[in-house]
Amino acid sequence: MDLIKSQLERRLGHDFKDKGLMELALTHRSCGNRNNERLEFLGDSLVNLIIAEALFLRFPEAKEGQLSRLRASLVKGETLAKVAREFAIGDCLNLGSGELKSGGFRRESILADAVEALIGAIYLDSDMDNCKTHVLRWYHARINETSLEKSGKDPKTQLQELLQSRKHALPVYSMSDVKGEAHAQVFTVECAHKLLAKPTVGEGSSRRQAEQQAASEALALLGELK
């Protein structure tokens, strides 16, 4: 296994006994029939279970609908792609030539699928307890930041309500870049406000997703201000 993937193991916190499992988890279907789709299927079930249990224990008074919305926000593709970017998983992906040319290593859906596949691979390489420990560590800050009041609101709405509650003007969103082919574009959006030292930046496969990510980054900064 090359150096960059060994470094990924350290970032993930798991040293694979079966290096082939990790390699498979990082292999997109554009490479052929031997790809990460089956591991993705397994990882999807695992991350839903692990996050569901964590939220169940964190919010003992929450209703089913509230827990479902919180879980959905934590396991959706956008959040999984953020986890992938934090670990620089895109740099380690095995992609076919077409996906390489179109920037597949940046595509949200491919990054999200790779995270789920890695979760499935870690489970098969070790056991449920170990897999759960890793996933909860990766999600620790996000789970701690969740609240029942925000369970049905997206980042743009939360940011708007935060600013309005403090009697400030609303943020301004502007698209700063669009990359990739028409079928696989990556949008970059900036969120500007006078309370921010500089605009926050979001990326996504649509302008809406990019705006939501930029708003989420702004929330993290403005939420610390009094």
Active site members: 44, 116
- C-alpha to C-alpha distance for 73 and 216, rounded to whole angstroms: 12
Pairing type for strands 172-179 and 200-204 reads unpaired
Q: Which residues are annotated as a binding site?
A: 40, 113, 116
- C-alpha to C-alpha distance for 72 and 79, rounded to whole angstroms: 10
Cβ(21)–Cβ(3) under 8 Å? no
104, HSE (Cβ side, Cα atoms, 13 Å): 19
Q: DSSP characters for 11-69?
A: HHT---SSHHHHHHHTB-GGG-SSSSHHHHHHHHHHHHHHHHHHHHHH-TT--HHHHHH
Which residues share a beta bridge with 94? 27
- C-alpha to C-alpha distance for 203 and 207, rounded to whole angstroms: 8
Q: DSSP characters for 173-197?
A: EEEEEEES-GGG-EEEEEEE-TTSS
Q: How far is CA 34 from the centre of its chain?
A: 24
Q: Which residues are annotated as a binding site for Mg(2+)?
A: 40, 113, 116
Strand, coil or helix: 124: helix
